[in-house]
Amino acid sequence: MKTLPLVVALALAAGIVAAQERRIELKDGPWRAQVEANCGSCHSIDYIVLNSPFLDKAGWDATVTKMIRAFGAPINADDAKVIVEYLATNYGKP
């Protein structure tokens, strides 16, 4: 019987945490759809925002290349080019 209040309290706490979670929205711009479709199909879009303070255009290019070569991301060369451009423009370190 003493476990019921604990279970209820934990369930309420989990609900509060889940309600506070916000979905990351990428900045609007050309090629956003390619980023969402290609990058978001393998991992959370949160990684883009988390890495943005550290990566310039060369860094984003290296990251996209790594995703393709090391992790096997099925991104064609044309999409890779515009993905890097979008990321560098909207999330690149100056």
Looking at residue 16, its pLDDT comes to: 54
Q: What pTM, to 2 d.p., does this model score?
A: 0.74
Looking at residue 23, its pLDDT comes to: 77
Single-letter code of the amino acid located at 90: N
Distances (CA, A) of 54 to 50, 62, 94: 9, 12, 10
Task: Give the N- to C-terminal CA distance of the chain in Å, as an integer.
Answer: 59
For residues 36, 39, 45 and 46, what is the CA-based torsion angle, rounded to 10 degrees?
A: -160
Residue 34 and residue 40 in contact, taking contact as beta carbons nearer than 8 Å: no
Single-letter code of the amino acid located at 26: L
Number of other residues whose CB lies within 10 A of the CB of residue 84: 22
Task: Give residue 65's Cα distance to chain centre.
Answer: 16
**Residues 4-53: tens digit of each pLDDT:** 665 666 665 665 555 456 778 899 999 999 999 999 988 999 989 888 88
The structural domains of the chain, with segments of one domain joined by +, span 25-91
- CATH code for the structural domain at 25-91: 1.10.760.10
Looking at residue 6, its pLDDT comes to: 57
Q: What is the mean pLDDT of residues 49-71?
A: 94
